[in-house]
Every structure is written in C-alpha cells, then in structure tokens.
Amino acid sequence: MDNRSYYDTFSETYEAKRHYGYHQFLDDAEFGLIADHCHGKRVLEVGCGTGLILQRAANSASHAVGVDISPGMLEHARQRGLDVHEGTATQLPFEDGHFDLVYSFKVLAHVEGIEDALQEMQRVTRPGGRIFAEFYNRRSLRTLVKRLKPGTKIGSQGGTTDDDVFTRYDSIADIESICPDGLRLEGMHGIRIASPLALPFDLPVLGRAWAGFERALMHTPLKRFGGFLVVEFSRT
C-alpha cells in the first residue's frame, strides 16, 4: 500500500485514542521539545497529520504551517483552522530558508527517501534555524516488540494494519550517516525508553505515574535507547 492511501485510511480513526494515555504522553513529550522554539517564529511541521501538534505550535508561532501527503489527514487539520498544504517530505512546496523551526514527528521512519527528506528540511530552514527530526530507534524495546507482535489495525474498515506501510528503524550511527552537510547536531532526545508496550500508559492512576517515570528517563543517559529518537539540529 502506498503512503497516501495508508494515511487516508488511517485518518478515519487516527484521533480515536490520541487525547489520553499513551498517545497523549507521546504528543506532549514531542511538543515539549519544540515549545520554546516556537514563540514568534515561522514554523513548519513536516507530516502534520490532523494537526494536533501543529495547533499547539500555532498558539505561539508568528506563522505555523503544515504539510502532509494525505488529503484525509489534511481535511481534519483544516477543520482546526490550520494553514496546511498537500505535499511530500521529499519535495516541500516552500522557498529556501523560509522557516525558523522545522520539525517532523512519527513521519520520517515511513519515508523511503530519507536523505532527500532531510535535505529538504534543511533547505527550507534559515541559517541558524532549528530542525527536530524523529526516527524509530533500532536499538530499543519498542522496536523489539514491534518485530515480534502482529500488526495493529488502522482505519474503520478492512484489514489494513501498520505493517502495510513502509517503516525503517535506525541506530544513532545510521542517523549520523544520512544527515546532510550543513546541519550541526545540537542534541538527541529519547522518548518511550522503558516501555516495550503502550498499555501501562492507558491504565487508570498507574498510567499517569508511568508517564512521569518515562518523562524522568528522558533526562538520563538512557535516552539513547528511546523507541523514538528526536535529533535536534541547527542549520549552519
């Protein structure tokens, strides 16, 4: 299944569980990494989906823009009043150096032309601007479980699962090898470090405690084993 069709199908149920528990934790953790870089800035989200994180960025940015491959996802984002455009990560429809902050969460792992996507993110970022790029960590408990368990159903009908979309898993060395010249590494952040399954986040009472535990681990050397690695760059 091609990515556009997959995410159009996913758009039918994408927000069903995103406002509590595990998915809320993940969105909060991701937005927390970029929040201080949004104030008064021109911001681009690559792979904005239905606009859940972009909406938060738009609250403090001078202008927040999203791009996504899926018309179905973009329909939901437009209902939020967001400025979003159809396009791909490997051919961003924006001028060189236009944005102060460019970020991408939950998306780059599903892009086969990952080097082209990173070069495009660099191209549309002004010199001195920031880029936050999230990868799926090959050396994590999350990845181990993903490879062992059956696919998770997405969409409201049919048998489509998350196994039907291209997915790549990268180590830190892999990430360093594919990053284009002109980007300076500023930091690396790990999310979902000790959780092979998402279930603990969704449990009453325990879920909040578990999320707090995971947030604490993000500030330790164990962050390099996070299921999600968010690499922070500045454009030179």
Q: Which domains does the chain have, with CATH numbers?
A: 3-235 (3.40.50.150)
**Confidence at 57, pLDDT banded by 50, 70, 90:** very high
pLDDT band with cut points at 50, 70 and 90 for residue 17: confident
DSSP conformational letter for 20: S
In the block, tokens 């937005």 appear at: 31
pLDDT (tens digit per residue) in 115-135: 999 999 999 999 999 999 999
CB-neighbour burial class of residue 145 (10 A; exposed 0-12, middle 13-18, buried 19+) = middle
pLDDT higher at 9 or 122: 122
The residues, ordered by sequence, that sit 6+ positions from 148 with a Cβ below 8 Å of its Cβ are: none
pLDDT at 163: 79
| Cα 203 to the center of its chain, rounded Å | 24
* Per-residue model confidence (pLDDT) at position 208: 95
**Mean pLDDT along residues 103-112:** 96
pLDDT confidence band for 154 (50 / 70 / 90): confident
Is residue 137 within 8 Å of residue 111, measured between CB atoms?
A: no
Question: pTM of the prediction?
Answer: 0.95
Beta bridge partners of 101: 43, 130
Q: How far is CA 191 from CA 2, 5, 19, 28, 37, in A?
A: 27, 28, 18, 11, 19
Evaluate if residue 159 carries a pLDDT over 80.
no
Looking at residue 54, what is its pLDDT?
Answer: 98
H helices of 126-230, where?
141-148, 172-178, 206-217
CB 24 within 8 A of CB 16: no
pLDDT band at 112 (very low <50, low <70, confident <90, very high): very high
CB atoms within 10 A of CB 220: 10
Is residue 157 very low, low, confident or very high in pLDDT (cuts 50, 70, 90)?
low
